[in-house]
Amino acid sequence: MDLSQQRAFASPSPGDDWRAIAARFLPDEPADAAIEKLKSWNLHLLVRNPPGEFTGSDVIFVEAPRPGEGFALPLPGTDGNSEGT
């Protein structure tokens, strides 16, 4: 059985914030642009209160979703196929 390649992720170290994660995993990008990328890949971390703070058990994706990754729920009244019937 072949295993699929998984998206790169990290767990934060104590005291990490968005800037520290960006510097560690996206060092060649301007800091603000790297932080915005990370936030767009980790929306699950922005819905908590206070938004964007890390815990040691967080999963932080450090690369964009790969093509075909993810899922979509079917719309009500459809069977989930691409034509919406």
27 belongs to a structural domain: yes
The proportion of the chain whose per-residue pLDDT surpasses 70, expressed as a percent, equals: 79
Domain that holds residue 35: 9-61
Better-scored residue on pLDDT, 30 or 3: 30
Show the 3-state SS of the chain: CCCCCCCCEECCCCCCCHHHHHHHHCCCCCHHHHHHHHHHHCHHHCCCCCCCCCCCCCCEECCCCCCCCCCCCCCCCCCCCCCCC
16 belongs to a structural domain: yes
Name the average pLDDT for the chain: 84
41 belongs to a structural domain: yes
Q: Residue 80 pLDDT more than 60?
A: no
Whole-prediction pTM: 0.73
5-9, 10-14, 39-43, 50-54: least confident range:
50-54
73 belongs to a structural domain: no
- As for how many domains the chain has, the answer is 1
- The predicted model gives 53-71 an average pLDDT of 85
